[in-house]
Amino acid sequence: MIDLRLLRDDPDRARASQRARGEDPALVDAVLSADERRRTSTVRFDELRSEQKQLGKRIPKAEPEEKAGLLERAGELSRAVKTADAERVAAEERTRELVRQLGNLVHADVPVGGEEDFTVLETVGTPRDFAAEGFAPRDHLELGDRLGAIDTERGAKVSGARFYYLTGVGALLELALVNAAVAQATAAGFTPMLTPALTKSQAMEGTGFLGQAAQDVYQLEQDDLYLVGTSEVALAGYHMDEIIDADRLPLRYAASSPCFRREAGSYGKDTRGIFRVHQFTKVEMFSYVAPEDSEAEHRRLLEWEKEWLSSLELPFQVIDVATGDLGASAARKFDCEAWIPTQGKYRELTSTSDCTEFQSRRLSIRMRDGKHVRPLATLNGTLCAVPRTLVALLENHQLEDGSVWVPPVLRPYLGGREKLEPIAK
């Protein structure tokens, strides 16, 4: 949620941010108008309530000939106070409703445009030349079938499209990835967490997932609960309605959790295999920091993601995501995209977002800095989204005979295996 004082002081910045996101800048003026009504109605209510209190003190001391008039005025004031209070509450609710529709203010350095208008910041590693090696790469689904690792047919039979089973070494690979990712995060100072997969609407809305992303959220209406699409929701909600002493910051958590997404806007995209699915496991990093430290923390999260992908020995590029492709809560987002050989392009594997004070204001998470209490900043970063990482691992590390080389970082979690071998059928 945007600071209303900032909107009042610099509305042009907010309008420019809305335009950059591809959203309506007129919403800023609607918010300002509602905020003006809110402030006016609050002043009116306070004035009437003050007069009512003063009158209440005068009535017991009034002379009989004066008391009747005062009592009549007290009745008028009582009705006026009730009316003013209702107007104040309605104005506050309308202002809150409108300001929650505004996305976070985008960082000045974010490239403007849509999904394809990102800026490449860095390229790490070189894609393999399979032609020079003398064979055509198999895609992850064929490799997964040969290894006895992935079964999408039975996943569809049991649960529908975009569901899957990981079997044998596929299941072991997921566990290896999760354990290795959590180990890296723990070594970097993150507190490991296992979080709820179901959250209340307050946490889901507070993190910004019931706005433009609501179509991808699974809701259990009977219980008024939501299945999380990322443990970011539960990690942000962890300190909801709390005040954190500044000397405890930064607070860093890393959670492994199941994630659920409808993928409502992705019909026809990535229908083969497990690149885009409805349920998956993910290891997510989450930081609480002072607002003035959020940009530096954002870079640190990116470096941890790069360290992870480098440990898997995957070729990847880092992009600065364009304004039109930012989520509502992000002021800036960096993605790491791994090379997928059979697609001949880089695809998103990890993402890290600086949400500045946007989520903390909505979730009422503040920091106590001396005598001052103020909103803090929250940031998130995917360390390992398992299915997409499996896709990249299998395709980039495949060998001509259909086996798959195992990066050293995963071997301790796979019984020391250096290679995954096809199974006999």
Tell me the per-residue pLDDT of 260-276, one tens digit each, with 9 for 90 and over.
999 876 777 777 899 99
**What confidence tier does 67 reach under pLDDT thresholds 50, 70, 90?**
confident
Mean local confidence (pLDDT), 297-313:
98
Tell me the per-residue pLDDT of 343-382, one tens digit each, with 9 for 90 and over.
999 999 999 999 999 999 999 999 999 889 999 999 999 9
Mean local confidence (pLDDT), 97-108:
92
- Burial class of residue 111 in the structure, from the number of CB atoms within 10 Å of its CB (0-12 exposed, 13-18 middle, 19+ buried): middle
Cα(213)–Cα(175) distance, integer angstroms: 29
Least confident piece of the model among 232-241, 257-266, 382-391: 257-266
Mean pLDDT of the chain: 93
Cα(299)–Cα(317) distance, integer angstroms: 15
Give the Cα-Cα-Cα angle 142, 266, 24 (nearest 5 degrees): 155
Residues with a known catalytic role: 261, 276, 348, 351, 388
Mean local confidence (pLDDT), 72-101:
88
User: Tokens 């959590």 map to which residue?
Assistant: 182
pLDDT for residue 61? 77
- Taking the CA of residue 227 as centre, how many other CA atoms within 13 Å lie in the half-sphere pointing to its CB? 16
Q: Which residues pair with 275 in a beta bridge?
A: none
Long-range contacts of 27-33 (CB under 8 A, 24+ apart): 27/98, 27/101, 27/102, 28/102, 30/98, 31/4, 31/7, 31/95, 31/98, 31/99, 31/102, 32/7, 32/8
Question: Which residue ranges form the domains of the chain, and what is each CATH number?
Answer: 4-99 (1.10.287.40), 119-420 (3.30.930.10)
Q: Is the pLDDT of residue 121 over 90?
A: yes
Least confident piece of the model among 147-151, 164-168, 262-266, 342-346: 262-266
| Sign of torsion over alpha carbons 210, 216, 217, 220 | positive
User: Rounded to the nearest 5°, which phi and psi values hold at 269?
Assistant: -100, 135
What does DSSP assign to residue 269? S
**What confidence tier does 54 reach under pLDDT thresholds 50, 70, 90?**
confident
- Taking the CA of residue 97 as centre, how many other CA atoms within 13 Å lie in the half-sphere pointing to its CB? 10
What does DSSP assign to residue 249? P
pLDDT for residue 174? 97
